Structure 1
Amino acid sequence: MYALGRLKAREMNKTEQAYHAHLAQRQHAGEVAWFEFEGIKLRLADSTFYTPDFAVMLADGRMQIHETKGFWTDDARVKIKVAAELYPFEFLAIRKQAAKSGGGWEVEVF
């Protein structure tokens, strides 16, 4: 049984689908070497894990973690902050901007 509004593992919501298309365009342009949806799982503590939306390798070899959000819960924000302290990746929170605000993607770095 899944909570209301939750999708099964490895199933993308509309924001994640749109961001996947954005990453595919960046890959085609040569900016991104590789990316995978829910491709890694990070251990934060005993019995506590964080599965980011996208693991991304840039063309220069740097690894990034991209988390797409429409809104943040306290639990999700704590997990990404803890992960950013524990792991040597650049962590980015990605939020889709409304068309009336110019569209595109708003990025927050942790």
Structure 2
Amino acid sequence: MTPQHRMLALGRLKAGVLNKTEQAYADHLRRLQIAGDVAWFKFEGVKLRLADSTFYTPDFTVMASDGAMEMHEVKGFWTDDARVKIKVAADLYPFKFIAAQALPKKQGGGWRVEAF
């Protein structure tokens, strides 16, 4: 069993509970807020309908300092299902969708960012 399968077998944490990667990203957003680049953010603050009985909840809803609303998704790794959902949401809604993937410390840490 791969590490990814083991993680999926553990299941998702309860709604509103951040995993380690999401907590690290929340800390990153707080630093951006202090720097004045982010006005506000909320974890799992918005639920978007993609189709009948299909929803997508971005990890973070973010208001940039210029008032633009962004939906941020934080991933340790991507599954096909997650990538499809963010692409569909980006086509349906007028928000900027951003995916942040944690970089390993041996690569300098930080975030690899992809816009949709």
Give the TM-score of the pair, scaled to structure 1.
0.95
**Of residues 3, 18, 27 in structure 2, which corresponds to 1:21?**
27
What corresponds to 2:72 in structure 1? Answer: 66
2:5 is the alignment partner of 1:4 = no
Q: How does 1:1-110 map to 2 (within 5 A)?
A: 4-110=10-116
After TM superposition, where is structure 1 displaced by more than 2 Å over at least 4 residues in a row?
none
More helix by share: 2
**1:20-63 deviation per Cα after TM superposition (whole angstroms, max 9, x unaligned):** 00101110111100000000000000110000000000000111
Q: Which runs of 5+ in 1 are unaligned?
A: none
Separation in structure 1 between the aligned mates of residue 62 and residue 12 of structure 2, nearest angstrom: 23
SS in 2 for 1:65: strand
SS in 1 for 2:46: coil
What is the number of equivalent residue pairs in this alignment?
108
The TM-score with structure 2 as length reference comes to 0.90
The letter of the residue matching 2:57 is T
Uncovered stretches (5+) of structure 2, i.e. residues with no partner: 1-8
